């Protein structure tokens, strides 16, 4: 009693917690009552519907699997019948020697074995209309002593398994060889395959599964998993007249009610059926309902306890939150606290309004910043007019030089115009290896004219790598570095630069090699760290262009790509650019 009085006293001391607790109790009682009614009226029928739907999906899966196997067999049989080796091997037996016939049998057996091993679904038999020499392989080659050619009225047909032919389900096609002899190509589905189909039709373990044909009488028809075929006859009578689609129905057999699912396999004469006692599903639904009632009672007790704990816990958080909000907006909340009967929600409401005002001001500032950004972007677009004006002017100078018979000036101006045009790349960041090579050729032609043939450039890139995605301006800084700091770093020196590429797995490696002055091991190490930005403590300058290339490559392609250098003093330097062979442009 003392504990109850203590709880009541606590509730009276807090108007808000009393409201919350009372509201939680009412909501809980209403929810439990509605939940019980839902279980009583809906769970049983809902569970039955779900179980029926699961059974339908399982049967449809079997039908889809059978359709896929049948399509695969049709495709493989058509492919084999058109095979040149097959057609030649099946022709001209009357003119062939025994050795030739034996070799043809080996070829046919090899073709069939390869197909069987690829799919592992069927066994292939070949039926000849005439008896030929050495036809003693009873597992592959047959003489038609069963009258199959009389049964195969069409070019393609389905048979139930015949004596000596593997499989209960057999697909056949009639093939006419080059000497106009008829050959039957039979694909017998292996027992393992249709046993898996039967197993897939037995969803609960109590079903009777059946694969049959509507165009044959029951005694000549069907693959089933029971010896009592009376219910199969009832099903076929029920399906009389149907040749396509799927569905379900209830069937009473020997005083027991069965739920029957059936489905016709498209583009074939077959259908599948699964019949199981309706009592099995009803039993599962009843078990589900009973289990829910056993769970309901402890849930009810836990919910009432959790309601009280949550009320105390919630008000504790609200009080702390209102106190913190009061520290942010103390002046505004003082007006609320002077009112009689205030609670924590009113404090939070007042703080929310203050926050909303500040957010509106912040959003206004963001809109102003976006406006300034759009102005900056417009200025940037306007600035792009100047480069276009520049290389258009260079084109004009080129034509003027041609008219004035100044070929050297025309040569320099044309290469400079191409250099700027390809460098702009219409504002794009991604180009191709072909475009980058054209860019360095324009640059090199200008430099070669300037330095009077002291430098030479060799390109050795396979055609299939020319469309490799590249970052704009990724080769030119490297070539420029090779000319200025490699070949021409020593006065009076001549040299050559070679550009090559190779594909290794999924990457492409581009090599830029010069025979300049080279660098010692320590200098190469320092420069590599500076290019990769791994060591900002290094003194000195240089390498900024290479650093820019490496950073842009890592940004667009990923951290595993970039630029590396190896060098040997007095022998030259090799720069290696690693890029992905295939990629989606960002």
**Alpha carbon distance, N-terminus to C-terminus of the chain:** 72
CB 187 within 8 A of CB 77: yes
Q: List, in sequence order, every residue forming a beta bridge with 460; answer none if it has no partner.
A: 500
Of residues 558 and 227, the one with the higher pLDDT is 558
φ, ψ of residue 182 to 5 degrees: the values are -90, 135
The three-point CA angle 134-130-151 to 5° equals 125
Asked if the structure places residue 525 within a domain, the reply is yes
Predicted pLDDT at 279: 74
Structural domain boundaries enclosing 363: 332-380
Residue position matching structure tokens 């050959």: 183
Q: What is the CATH number of the domain that holds 441?
A: 3.30.565.10
Phi-psi map region of 211: left, alpha, beta (phi>0 left; psi -120 to 50 alpha) = beta
Q: Do 550 and 575 belong together in one domain?
A: yes
Q: Do 488 and 555 belong together in one domain?
A: yes
Q: Decide if pLDDT at 541 tops 50.
A: no
Predicted pLDDT at 94: 75
Q: Residue 267 has which token pair?
A: 């583009």
In the chain, what's the furthest Cα-to-Cα distance? Answer: 118
Q: Residue 420 has which token pair?
A: 């700027």
Asked if the structure places residue 388 within a domain, the reply is yes
Rounded to two decimals, what is the model's pTM? 0.44
Asked if the structure places residue 273 within a domain, the reply is yes
| Residues 547, 572: Cα–Cα separation, whole Å | 20
What is the tally of structural domains in the chain? Answer: 4
Q: Do 349 and 391 belong together in one domain?
A: no
Q: Do 440 and 567 belong together in one domain?
A: yes
Predicted pLDDT at 459: 92
The three-point CA angle 112-114-115 to 5° equals 65
Length of the chain: 586
Predicted pLDDT at 229: 65
Q: In what order do the strands lie in the sheet with 223-224?
A: 223-224, 208-213, 270-277, 256-264, 246-253
Predicted pLDDT at 204: 66
φ, ψ of residue 518 to 5 degrees: the values are 75, -175
Q: Do 355 and 406 belong together in one domain?
A: no
| Residue-by-residue DSSP string for 298-350 | HHHHHHHHHHHHHHHHHHHHHHHHHHHHHHHSHHHHHHHHTSTT--HHHHHHH
CB 531 within 8 A of CB 452: no
Predicted pLDDT at 185: 87
10 Å CB burial of residue 209 (0-12, 13-18, 19+) is buried
Q: Decide if pLDDT at 488 tops 90.
A: no
Confidence tier at 340 by pLDDT (50, 70, 90):
very low
Predicted pLDDT at 539: 42
Predicted pLDDT at 563: 93
Asked if the structure places residue 406 within a domain, the reply is yes
Mean pLDDT of 532-552: 70
Q: Do 500 and 574 belong together in one domain?
A: yes
Predicted pLDDT at 503: 92
Q: Do 260 and 273 belong together in one domain?
A: yes
Query: What is residue 494's three-state secondary structure?
Result: coil
Q: What is the DSSP letter of 268?
A: S
Q: Decide if pLDDT at 336 tops 60.
A: no
| Residues 421, 415: Cα–Cα separation, whole Å | 10
Q: Do 464 and 564 belong together in one domain?
A: yes
Q: Decide if pLDDT at 399 tops 60.
A: yes
Predicted pLDDT at 380: 45
Residue position matching structure tokens 């080769």: 475
3-state secondary structure 533-553: CCCCCCCCCCCHHHHHHHHHH
Q: Which of 311, 346, 380 is the last residue of a domain?
A: 380
Q: Do 217 and 337 belong together in one domain?
A: no
Q: What is the CATH number of the domain that holds 270?
A: 3.30.450
Asked if the structure places residue 417 within a domain, the reply is yes
CB 174 within 8 A of CB 109: no
Q: Which of 351, 380, 409 is the last residue of a domain?
A: 380
Q: Are strands 495-504 and 507-514 parallel, antiparallel or unpaired?
A: antiparallel
Asked if the structure places residue 163 within a domain, the reply is no
- Using only C-alpha atoms, what is the Rg of the chain? 43
Least-confidence region, from 83-87, 132-136, 181-185, 536-540:
536-540
Q: Are strands 246-253 and 455-460 parallel, antiparallel or unpaired?
A: unpaired
Q: Do 436 and 549 belong together in one domain?
A: yes
Asked if the structure places residue 48 within a domain, the reply is no
Q: Do 396 and 460 belong together in one domain?
A: no
The helix or strand, by DSSP H or E, that contains position 528, with its residue range, turns out to be helix 521-532
Q: Do 558 and 498 belong together in one domain?
A: yes
Side-chain-side CA neighbours of residue 377 (13 Å): 6
Predicted pLDDT at 38: 67
| Residues 262, 226: Cα–Cα separation, whole Å | 17
Q: Residue 382 has which token pair?
A: 């306007």
Q: Residue 333 has which token pair?
A: 């909340």
Asked if the structure places residue 161 within a domain, the reply is no
| Residues 84, 568: Cα–Cα separation, whole Å | 61
């Amino acid at each position: 009693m003392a504990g109850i009085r203590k709880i009541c006293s606590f509730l009276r001391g807090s108007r808000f917690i009393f409201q919350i607790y009372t509201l939680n109790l009412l909501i809980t009682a209403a929810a439990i009552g509605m939940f019980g009614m839902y279980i009583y009226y809906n769970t049983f029928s809902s569970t039955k519907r779900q179980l029926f739907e699961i059974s339908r999906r399982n049967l449809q899966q079997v039908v889809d699997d059978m359709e896929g196997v049948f399509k695969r067999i049709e495709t493989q049989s058509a492919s084999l019948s058109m095979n040149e080796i097959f057609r030649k091997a099946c022709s001209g037996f009357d003119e062939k020697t025994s050795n030739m016939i034996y070799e043809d049998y080996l070829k046919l057996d090899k073709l069939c074995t390869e197909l069987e091993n690829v799919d592992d679904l069927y066994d292939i038999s070949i039926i000849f209309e005439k008896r030929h020499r050495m036809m003693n392989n009873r597992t592959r080659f047959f003489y038609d002593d069963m009258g199959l050619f009389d049964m195969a009225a069409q070019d393609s047909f389905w048979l139930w398994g015949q004596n000596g032919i593997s499989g209960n389900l057999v697909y056949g096609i009639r093939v006419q060889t080059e000497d106009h002899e008829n050959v039957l190509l039979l694909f017998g589905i292996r027992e393992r395959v249709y046993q898996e189909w039967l197993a897939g039709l037995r969803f609960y373990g109590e079903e009777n599964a059946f694969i049959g044909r509507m165009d044959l009488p029951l005694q000549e028809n069907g693959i089933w998993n029971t010896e009592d075929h009376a219910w199969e006859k009832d099903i076929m009578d029920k399906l009389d007249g149907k040749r396509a689609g799927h569905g379900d129905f209830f069937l009473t057999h020997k005083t027991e009610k069965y739920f029957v699912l059936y489905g016709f396999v498209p583009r074939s004469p077959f259908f599948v059926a699964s019949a199981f006692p309706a009592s099995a599903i009803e039993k599962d639904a009843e078990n589900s309902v009973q289990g829910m009632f056993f769970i309901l009672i402890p849930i009810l007790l836990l919910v009432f306890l959790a309601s009280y704990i949550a009320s105390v816990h919630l008000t504790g958080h609200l009080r702390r939150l209102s106190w913190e909000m009061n520290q942010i907006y103390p002046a505004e909340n003082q007006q609320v606290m002077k009112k009689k009967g205030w609670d924590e929600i009113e404090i939070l409401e007042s703080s929310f309004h203050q926050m909303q005002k500040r957010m509106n001001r912040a959003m206004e500032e963001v809109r102003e910043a976006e406006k300034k950004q759009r102005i900056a972007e417009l200025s940037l677009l306007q600035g792009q007019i100047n480069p276009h004006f520049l290389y258009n002017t260079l084109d004009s100078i080129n034509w003027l030089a041609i008219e004035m018979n100044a070929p050297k000036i025309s040569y320099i101006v044309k290469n400079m115009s191409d250099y700027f045009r390809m460098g702009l790349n219409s504002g794009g960041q991604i180009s191709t290896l072909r475009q980058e090579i054209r860019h360095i050729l324009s640059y090199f032609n200008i430099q070669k004219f300037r330095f009077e043939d002291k430098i030479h450039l060799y390109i050795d890139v396979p055609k299939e790598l020319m469309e490799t995605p590249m970052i704009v301006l990724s080769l030119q800084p490297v070539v420029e570095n090779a000319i200025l700091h490699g070949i021409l770093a020593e006065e009076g020196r001549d040299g050559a630069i070679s550009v090559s590429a190779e594909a290794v797995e999924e990457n492409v490696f581009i090599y830029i090699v010069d025979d300049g002055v080279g660098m010692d091991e320590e200098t190469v190490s320092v420069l590599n760290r500076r290019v990769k930005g791994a060591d900002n403590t290094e003194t000195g300058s240089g390498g900024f262009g290479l650093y820019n290339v490496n950073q842009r490559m890592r940004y667009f392609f990923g951290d595993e790509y970039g630029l590396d250098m190896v060098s040997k003093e007095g022998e030259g330097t090799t720069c290696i650019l690693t890029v992905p062979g295939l990629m989606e442009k960002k």
